[in-house]
Structure 1
Amino acid sequence: MNDVVIIGAGIAGLVCAQQLSQAGYSVLVVEKSRGLGGRVATRRLHGTWADHGACYLKPKGELFTSFVELLCDRHILATWNELQPNATPRYVAPAGMSAIAKFLAQNINILLNQRVTEINLTPEKSWRLTLESSNEELTAKALVIAIPAPQATMLLNSLGEDVLGKEFLTNLSAVEFYPCISAIAGVPPSSHPLPTWKAHTFVDDVVLGWIGLDSSKRPQTQQSVFVLQSSANFAQLHLEASDLQPVGHKMLKYAAQALELPWLETPEWLQVHRWRYAFPRNPWQHQVLAAQAELPLVCCGDWCGGNLVEGAMLSGLAASVEINNVLNQLVLPEENFLKVFI
């Protein structure tokens, strides 16, 4: 029996796990993917790596700014300024953005490559989770669901209104996301000069939302690597494509023409990734969404408030407070959240 099981090893889930674990609860994180971080994702390929999810951080609040400063002190993050002298600094991870998640995952029990297929409430008053790959079952006194709201809806609907409450399920199912398609392209060494910019944002464009010279984040890189992110409408048109390679080439061709970089059309290699739940379109207005259940069940993530990585961190902190209030009311290290890493 675990005190708390957290589904999802994104930023919200890992922050929540750290808080509850530091307070003294037995915590287990279950993640369906083979890596940590959720949208804070890095893909290793062709002797290098590229951030195909969140590409940089731009902190606003005091706590998240302190967290970014700590990561800079640990040489996990570094500034990635544009050429404009007075631009607000952006922060990137030279070893890949997933390094942030690995930092947060210190001393946390995590099961990777394990998809939760079913959740039930047992007669003994505990949550029972069934895992897909092993038919193994986990039990917990409390649950934190730290995955995109549509995925949470699919997982929790079978419990029904009698267990979770009608209002909770209605609010959860109302949260929607914009999709995105990310293309990673390796450009061969050539005599063509690279653009003077490190990143370019497309405003209200039909195809692209953003392009960045991802290799400019990396020390001593041997190849130029670009990451392109599509517009939401373009992603929606191609989201169900069985082969995403032609979709990625279409994005590259469009960028090559729009930015007058003809050599961008013919990369040495190309990888394409679809994000069904990239950016919250209709976020929940609070930092957590709690069920009206007999046992604690709380949802959290960047869709609670909708402020991307920073919002995910704050949501994870709020979820730990919510769970703690219902369980043993132990002393959470929230005010000293960063001290455990110092």
Structure 2
Amino acid sequence: MPTPSQPESPSTERTAIIGAGLAGLSCARELGRSGVPVRVFDRGRSAGGRVSTRRGQGGDQTGPLYDHGAPMIHVRNATVAQIAERWVEQHAAQWWSPITLHPDGSRSQTERVIVGTPSMSSITQALSVGLDLHNSVTVTDLSHDQQGWLLRLKHYGSTEATTERFDRVVLAMPIPQASRIIAPQDPSALSECPTISYEPTWACMMTLQVGEDLCTLPDIVDTDDGDRVVFAHRKPGHTLPAGTTALVLHANHAWSASYRDASPGEVCSILGQRALDIMQNQIGVLISRPQILDQQAHRWGLARATNPACESHWYCPDRSLGCCSDGFGGSDAESAYLSGIAMARAIVAAQAHRD
């Protein structure tokens, strides 16, 4: 992806964005186009947030790719559609029209969604090009004074923390996470920010040796209790050996909440059997002796906003502090991307008004 275009009037004020998911990356790119110096921090080993991918079978380069976060992006906004076309041109994504099997047995085909190729993390990798991105860095402390914001940073593998000063901070993450970072030093910092609640989701990832090609499988299965199975190997760019099936089961929010403190092993056992039951009872595929080649589980504690804010972002010019995430203006990946853009434009507008 091309680097952000050169601005006409570059700014000298530095902005720290904490969180390198879709919201943080889109905010960083938009600010870069306006000449605002940006540094992005993320505690993960790579950008992605909930648009994340795991590789199975020990993590080598031949294992299956599991999009265990957002499996796709539903594109409804013209701005997102334009950037999605750029991802396609750069071979970071493809358009997909998946077939979904519903609880009543009917099937429907989604008109068009965007998926990363070969995985969803390809999208955030493309968005990261040209950005000052620092991965494997945890912001352990955040404080504000007359000189701006002071960030205390812990780098993975290091026993010592460092500090860095910025004029402005954007928390590109769910509000509960943002509160945990800033509340210890300034409990009232987000007092005027919308209150957004989230539901959890357990994701179970499996690869099965079934001994035959399952040509009749749908791409997605929705169950009557709210579970969703996405057959990973049926997504564009995903390939597996013949007779092998890979899937990601996102459990319903109520079940996930009740198993909040369960171990990944316990969850794999329960949801793995549930996936086999779905294949037999809802799809009609009986695997008499399934050979599980790989199985993993991951809990998303803040998976879906239950009461998304009507606003696209939150920004306090007096504090030079903002928040953006998928909980603003919606509860999906597209909302996160648009929230980041709106956050950046609010910063630029506030700076222009002040100047």
Pair in the same fold by TM > 0.5: yes
Aligned to 1:304: 328
Where 1:116 maps in the other structure, the secondary structure is strand
- For residues 107-152 of structure 1, the C-alpha deviation after alignment (integer angstroms, 9 at most, x for no partner) is 10111111111111134x2100111344101111111100111110
2:126 is aligned, of 97, 103, 127, to 103
Aligned to 2:42: 31
2:228 is the alignment partner of 1:210: yes
Aligned to 1:55: 71
Mapped partners of 2:340, 2:279: distance in 1: 39
| CA shift in 2, pair 1:165/1:233, >3 Å | closer
5+ long unaligned stretches in structure 1: 331-342
Aligned to 1:268: 293
2:284 is the alignment partner of 1:258: no
Contact 1:68–1:77 at 8 Å: present in 2 too?
yes
Contact 1:2–1:28 at 8 Å: present in 2 too?
no
Aligned to 2:151: 129
Mapped partners of 1:253, 1:107: distance in 2: 44
Contact 1:120–1:128 at 8 Å: present in 2 too?
yes
Mapped partners of 1:286, 1:128: distance in 2: 28
Alignment of 1:36-115 (within 5 A): 36-46=47-57, 47-48=62-63, 49-83=65-99, 87-115=110-138
Q: Displacement of 1:265 after TM fit?
A: 6.1
2:348 is aligned, of 316, 321, 324, to 324
Contact 1:184–1:272 at 8 Å: present in 2 too?
yes
2:306 is the alignment partner of 1:281: yes
Please tell me the residue identity of whatever aligns with 2:124.
Answer: A
2:177 is aligned, of 151, 173, 189, to 151
| CA shift in 2, pair 1:238/1:159, >3 Å | same
1:230 is aligned, of 248, 251, 261, to 251
Where 2:247 maps in the other structure, the secondary structure is strand
Moved more, 87-96 or 47-56: 87-96
Q: Displacement of 1:39 after TM fit?
A: 0.7
2:217 is the alignment partner of 1:199: no
Mapped partners of 2:270, 2:213: distance in 1: 21
- For residues 263-294 of structure 1, the C-alpha deviation after alignment (integer angstroms, 9 at most, x for no partner) is 38652220111100111112222011123x63
2:173 is the alignment partner of 1:183: no
Q: Displacement of 1:252 after TM fit?
A: 2.1
| CA shift in 2, pair 1:152/1:96, >3 Å | same
Please tell me the residue identity of whatever aligns with 1:303.
Answer: G
Q: Displacement of 1:321 after TM fit?
A: 1.3
Percent identity between the two aligned chains: 23
Q: Displacement of 1:75 after TM fit?
A: 2.2
Contact 1:178–1:279 at 8 Å: present in 2 too?
yes
Contact 1:14–1:104 at 8 Å: present in 2 too?
yes
Contact 1:252–1:265 at 8 Å: present in 2 too?
no
Where 2:72 maps in the other structure, the secondary structure is coil
Please tell me the residue identity of whatever aligns with 2:265.
Answer: Q
Mapped partners of 1:60, 1:310: distance in 2: 8
Contact 1:10–1:39 at 8 Å: present in 2 too?
yes
Instruction: Please give the root-mean-square deviation of Cα atoms over the aligned residues, in Å.
Output: 2.3
Q: Displacement of 1:326 after TM fit?
A: 2.8
Instruction: Report how many aligned residue pairs link the two structures.
Output: 319
Mapped partners of 1:275, 1:21: distance in 2: 30
Where 1:179 maps in the other structure, the secondary structure is strand
Contact 1:296–1:326 at 8 Å: present in 2 too?
no
Please tell me the residue identity of whatever aligns with 2:308.
Answer: P
2:246 is the alignment partner of 1:221: no
Mapped partners of 1:248, 1:102: distance in 2: 29
5+ long unaligned stretches in structure 2: 1-11, 100-106
- For residues 17-55 of structure 1, the C-alpha deviation after alignment (integer angstroms, 9 at most, x for no partner) is 111122222110010111211111111222232110111
Mapped partners of 1:327, 1:255: distance in 2: 52
Mapped partners of 1:126, 1:192: distance in 2: 60
